[in-house]
Amino acid sequence: MLFQTKMIDTKKEIEDALSKVMHPEIDNSLIKLGMIKDIKVEDDEVSVTLNLPFLNVPIKDLLISLIKEPIEKSGKKAKIEITEMNEEERMKFMQLAREGWKL
């Protein structure tokens, strides 16, 4: 995945960059799947909450790397916090996952 290396300064620019981060097994972005929440930009650091359907998902480290890539390529530090989806979020995620599952 190619990203521009210009400085990203606003929350909107961060959201735009992260909206292109696709789930490796589901044909949808992490944002649309409800997996990226609470994006905060402070000086040279971007904090992002990765909201997982289950805390022990086997691709957690890969998802963290996929989120960090566009942030760090922009010259910012990435701080990722991990949370677990509530039941409503998990149900929505599972529905979208079934619709977009890559076989």
Which pTM was predicted? 0.85
The domain that holds 50 is classified in CATH as: 3.30.300.130
Strand 45-52, strand 36-42: pairing? antiparallel
2 lies in some domain: no
Closest CA to 79 of 43, 28, 25, 31: 43
15 lies in some domain: yes
50 lies in some domain: yes
What does the pLDDT profile of the chain (103 residues) look like in tens digits? 444 444 455 888 899 999 999 999 999 999 999 999 999 999 899 999 999 999 999 999 999 999 999 999 888 999 999 999 999 999 999 999 999 886 5
